[in-house]
């Protein structure tokens, strides 16, 4: 099971491969917004994947379009609800709002 390390809290959580990063963050007790409940419509679950990007799912069109509409995105940006964990550990940064 991949381990998700969460910044800036420093929390870690083991999550099943095939589950979303959003699910892992919620499992870890992080207070990450997810207003559309994982439909790639709200953009509120924006995170930065600092390490392990190659092991998570590729960005699909709906996610890409939503990221284009969010202020403050960068090359490491993902929507946590759309990023599916692979077998490798990842480190993510939850923007402080
Ligand atoms: S929860 Fe709305 S885009 Fe991820």
- Output the domain CATH number for residue 43: 3.10.20.30
Distance in Å, CA 45 to ligand 1 centroid: 5
What residues make up the domain containing 79?
A: 3-93
Q: Tell me, using a 6 A CB cutoff, whether residue 23 lines ligand 1.
A: no
Structural domain total, the chain: 1
> What is the C-alpha separation between 54 and 83, in angstroms, rounded?
11
d(CA 6, CA 3) in angstroms, rounded, equals: 10
Angstrom distance (rounded) from CA 69 to CA 88: 29
Residue 34, ligand 1, Cβ within 6 A:
yes
Per-residue tens of pLDDT for the chain, all 97 residues: 999 999 999 999 999 999 999 999 999 999 999 999 999 999 999 999 999 999 999 999 999 999 999 999 999 999 999 999 999 999 999 998 6
């Amino acid at each position: 099971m991949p381990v998700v390390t969460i910044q800036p809290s420093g929390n870690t959580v083991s999550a099943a491969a095939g589950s979303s990063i959003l699910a892992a963050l919620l499992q870890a007790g992080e207070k990450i917004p997810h207003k559309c409940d994982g439909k790639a419509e709200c953009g509120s679950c924006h995170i930065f994947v600092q390490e392990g990007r190659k092991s998570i799912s590729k960005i699909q069109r709906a996610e890409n379009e939503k990221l284009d509409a969010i202020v403050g995105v960068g090359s490491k940006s993902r929507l946590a609800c759309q990023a599916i964990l692979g077998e490798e550990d990842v480190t993510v940064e939850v923007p402080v709002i």
